[in-house]
Amino acid sequence: MSTEPADVLIIGAGASGGVVARRLAEAGYSVVCLEQGRWHDRSEYRGTELDWELTARKQWSGSPNVRGLPEDYPVDDMDSDLSPLMFAGVGGSMLLFAGAWPRMLPSDFRVRSLDGVADDWPLTYEELRPFYERNDRHIGVSGLGGDPAYPPGEDPPLPPLPIGPGALKVARAHDRLGWHWWPEPNAILSTPYEGRHQCVQRGTCMQGCNEGAKASTDLTHWPHAIANGARLLTGARVLRIETNSQGLATGALWLDEDGREHFQPANVVVLAANAIGTARLLLLSASNAHPDGLANSSGTVGTRLMMHPFASVTGLFNDNLESWQGHFGCSIESFQFYETDQRRGFVRGAKWGLAPTGGPINAALPSRAGKQAWGPDHHIQMRARFGHGASWGLFGEDLPDPSNRVGLSSTITDSSGIPAPELHYKVSENSRKLLDFHIDKASESLLAAGAHTIEVDRLMQYSGWHLLGTARMGEDPTTSVLNRWNRSHDVANLYVVDGSCFVTSGGVNPTSTICAVALRAADHMVNTRFDQQVPR
């Protein structure tokens, strides 16, 4: 295996890794990326097959613990209220993501100033807006411009996706109630775009998109990066980042699939392994020079893990809505109750996103929300539920808490024998109150839309889709890991570009923001390349 030094070594080929690789390779950097997973051809996805719902619960589950693939690392989540979800492969967790692509709102970057909680970000929405817009063009975002929930800006590049009959009922209800709603922007194509097909509404997005209509960086970014010379090594599991006596990163030690060890030297190291994988690697990179982990003089690496406690509120309607079809990223959204109203007894809020309700196996099995009906009533319940539901997903802002954290397991390892991450995470009182309030309001919305029954899944365990905050940005090196350009305060040639950098979580799906921050960081690297300290 070549050990040619790279200008930049990226660890993780997911959302943020892909964005940074494309930008830097196009700027002429020599880029190497190490990714523990592999490429997936879209013919592997099971959405077109009879076994789709069966494999969705095992081979294509969002949980690495359920999948148990050799390229996954297990997560010790015994002490966590939520189970984290992710995927290892080129494209990362985007291969299974739903495609919902909302942005954070201006207030999300200023919660300390506005609401007296948590911390402000060292950047603003306005600063990030051009990066959101550039990414939207790379990704191929479908949506409708002019949403008054956001400041004005460029319209999404593609027209909105259809919202489907369930969302239409809810939109009419919000019109009557005088509540905000808008077609949700999605990283899913409504028309053919840059050689990719438009969506066919098969509704299997969270098990991989057979059409390539849903964006993931294996489709949208890596081909460009590779065409510009980037080298992407798959089946390459990083076990630690090495540093020299100057305190600079020199590269990473990694294992191939046969367990052989390699060292990849680089001038700059970029971590893009998601908020659990990155925290794990920084902790694994402890040495005599930094016994508590790399880039951790603040002692905050791994802390402030945020995962967006989630509730779903499903309305059942008399009409057949064929709600097994339609893209799984949200069809419509509402920001009606997003901003803080102190009278509610909690701070911050939640975005609501309306989603389809899945196939027949999902409708038939007992869910935590639905009541269990076996015997002759099974058929009655099945006819009432299957295809008749519309489901609001409530993404509540998760405030950072130092005791919610990622550590290293002393008992569980991955298939290479490297300690697995261990989670300690409790849902806060603020989140519980927030969800209670939003569940009531979302129920009101669905009843107004004509639902005859409401089913609530209050705190779904397998809802840790959004992994954020474990290496936060900030101005103060004693309380944060990264500066405002995603560079480590401690290690001048180490960057973290994934969701770890989030200061607060916002109450929206985070990937458009992860990608915007990553692109901003990559731009800054290019703009300051001659000032970059590198190991000698």
Partner 1 sequence: MNAEPVEITPGDSMFELGRDRIATLASVADYLIPAAHGMPSAGEVVTAAQLRFVLRTRPDLFDPLIAALRYELGDDPSVRLAALAAHEPEAEAALQMVIVAGYYTDAGVRSRLGYQGQVAKPVNARDYPTYLEEGLLDKVIERGPIWRNPTTG
Ligand X SMILES: Cc1cc2nc3c(=O)[nH]c(=O)nc-3n(C[C@H](O)[C@H](O)[C@H](O)COP(=O)(O)OP(=O)(O)OC[C@H]3O[C@@H](n4cnc5c(N)ncnc54)[C@H](O)[C@@H]3O)c2cc1C
Binding site for ligand SF4 (CB under 6 A): 47, 99, 188, 199-205, 209, 211, 213-214, 327-328
Work out how close the CB of 172 gets to ligand SF4 at its nearest, in angstroms, rounded to a whole number. Answer: 24
Sign of CA dihedral 45, 133, 508, 466: positive
509 binds, among partner 1, ligand SF4, ligand X, none (CB under 5 to 8 A by kind): ligand X
DSSP letters for 311-369? EEEEEE-SS---TT-S-SS-SEEE-TT-S--GGGSSSS-EEEEEE----HHHHHS--SS
205 binds, among ligand SF4, ligand X, partner 1, none (CB under 5 to 8 A by kind): ligand SF4
Retrieve residue 147's tokens.
Answer: 């949403």
Work out how close the CB of 401 gets to partner 1 at its nearest, in angstroms, rounded to a whole number. Answer: 23
Sign of CA dihedral 283, 284, 285, 286: positive
Site string for ligand X, 451-490 (x = CB under 6 A): --------------xx------------------------
361 binds, among ligand SF4, ligand X, partner 1, none (CB under 5 to 8 A by kind): partner 1
Site string for ligand X, 255-274 (x = CB under 6 A): -----------------xxx
Should residue 11 be labelled a site residue for ligand X when binding is judged by CB under 6 A? yes
Q: Containing H/E element for 409? A: strand 405-413
Retrieve residue 185's tokens.
Answer: 């922007």
Retrieve residue 428's tokens.
Answer: 């806060």
Work out how close the CB of 56 gets to ligand SF4 at its nearest, in angstroms, rounded to a whole number. Answer: 12
The rounded distance, in Å, linking the Cα atoms of 266 and 272 is: 15
Should residue 498 be labelled a site residue for ligand X when binding is judged by CB under 6 A? yes
Retrieve residue 130's tokens.
Answer: 């051009």
249 binds, among ligand X, partner 1, ligand SF4, none (CB under 5 to 8 A by kind): none
> Please, are residues 24 and 31 in contact by the beta-carbon 8 Å criterion?
yes
Closer residue to partner 1 (CB): 48 or 244: 48
175 binds, among ligand X, ligand SF4, partner 1, none (CB under 5 to 8 A by kind): partner 1
Chain-centroid distance, C-alpha 10: 18
Amino acid at 193: Y
Should residue 281 be labelled a site residue for ligand X when binding is judged by CB under 6 A? yes
> What letters, b where the CB count within 10 A reaches 16 and e where it falls short, cover 502-528?
bbbbbbbbbbbbbbbbbbbbbbebeee
122 binds, among partner 1, ligand SF4, ligand X, none (CB under 5 to 8 A by kind): none
Out of 8, 9, 34, 282, the only residue in the binding site for ligand X (CB under 6 A) is 34
The rounded distance, in Å, linking the Cα atoms of 113 and 110 is: 5
Closer residue to ligand X (CB): 172 or 262: 262
Site string for ligand X, 409-448 (x = CB under 6 A): ----------------------------------------
Q: What is the largest CA-CA distance in the chain?
A: 75
> Please, are residues 144 and 160 in contact by the beta-carbon 8 Å criterion?
yes
Site residues (CB under 6 A) for ligand X, limited to 223-242: 237-238
> Please, are residues 217 and 94 in contact by the beta-carbon 8 Å criterion?
yes
Rule CB under 6 A: which residues touch ligand X?
Answer: 11-17, 34-37, 62, 85-89, 92-94, 96-100, 206, 237-238, 272-274, 277, 281, 329, 465-466, 498-499, 509-511, 514
